[in-house]
Structure 1
Amino acid sequence: MSFVTKDMYFIIAIFPHEKCEICGDLHSPVLKESVQFHDLTELVLIMNKIMQDFNIPKYDKKNRSFVSDYKSINIPLEYQDLNSGNFERYLDKSLKFPMESKNIFTVKVMYRQHCTWQGQIVWIGQDKVRFFRSDLELIALIYSTYNEDYQ
């Protein structure tokens, strides 16, 4: 995994589902296939695992937990064989992820500082852009669109 990028990119598609409040698909140029999530907590844990596996964006702190042998979320993830020559192609491909939902977001995580993330989220189709200062704020931004569309 020797490619150079300082930001991590994700595409999130939210699908209405009778068994879970907010579920959908997560895609990234680093993933071979999209990954399903069943709530916003699982979404954040998957995104965090991907960023930890690649150390993108750089994070100089050790992850903290109550248990010394903590193993993050246990979802199998298959990664692309990326390098500086093919990253742009995979990024373009992931941004063309099938748009079957009306709630699709692109997320660019630019920093991981103070045990959280900072970056930008774009609500595709609504052309709304917001910057977030924490993963909690990211969750709140996604959830606000759910409240608007499904209440």
Structure 2
Amino acid sequence: MSEHFIRGMTAPDLMCVCIDERGAAGSSGRLYHRYGKEPGLFQNEYQLLTLMEELMDRIGYPQASVEMRSYGKKNPETGRGEKTPAVSAEEVAGQQGRCATFLVHVQYRQNATWQGEIFWAERQRLQTFRSALELLKLFDSAR
């Protein structure tokens, strides 16, 4: 099933979330994507979502339907960065976490949240999610 998921996956925002540790403070691990050879490291789920959001803003895919509000500086312009993948989808999907591995495809960023698909590699299970919160709950339920 993972090969089927990857074969059909031409989306530029394919991400591989490798969970290496789980603890009371959350999960930590690595985020792989097609626009960099080195993983993004995260110590908790908030950092993971921030890395994912920054990637989607950088490549402009999927395009956000609303501009996020902030108390601080104005958000940088999005979608003007990298357009050519540095790594193949197969290389991204070939990574593995010590506790769990997920392939994530965010299809839409609407209503200030995300909608898409998540594939739990170890169990060969595909689920859809309708919000970033639901995505986090799917990560957490995979134990």
TM-score w.r.t. the length of structure 1 is 0.75
* 1:18 to 1:108, Cα distance in 2 relative to 1, 3 A: closer
Q: 1:51 aligned to 2:51? A: no
Q: Which moved more, 1:131-140 or 1:20-29?
A: 20-29
Aligned to 2:89: 91
TM-score w.r.t. the length of structure 2 is 0.78
Instruction: Give the C-alpha shift of residue 82 in structure 1.
Output: 4.9
Amino acid at match of 1:117: W
Amino acid at match of 1:31: G
Instruction: Give the C-alpha shift of residue 88 in structure 1.
Output: 9.5
1:61-87, Cα deviation, whole Å (9 max, x unpaired): 22211224357xxxxxxx9x653xxx4
* Percent identical: 25
Match among 135, 138, 144 for residue 135 of structure 2: 138
Aligned to 2:16: 11
C-alpha distance in 2, partners of 1:122/1:55?
23
**Retained in 2: the 8 A contact 1:102–1:125?**
no
Q: Which has the larger radius of gyration?
A: 1
Aligned to 1:128: 125
| Local SS of the residue matching 2:16 | strand
Paired residue total = 130
Unaligned runs of 5+ in 2: 1-9
Aligned to 1:74: none
Aligned to 2:113: 116
Unaligned runs of 5+ in 1: 72-78
| Superposition RMSD in Å | 2.5
C-alpha distance in 2, partners of 1:68/1:88?
30
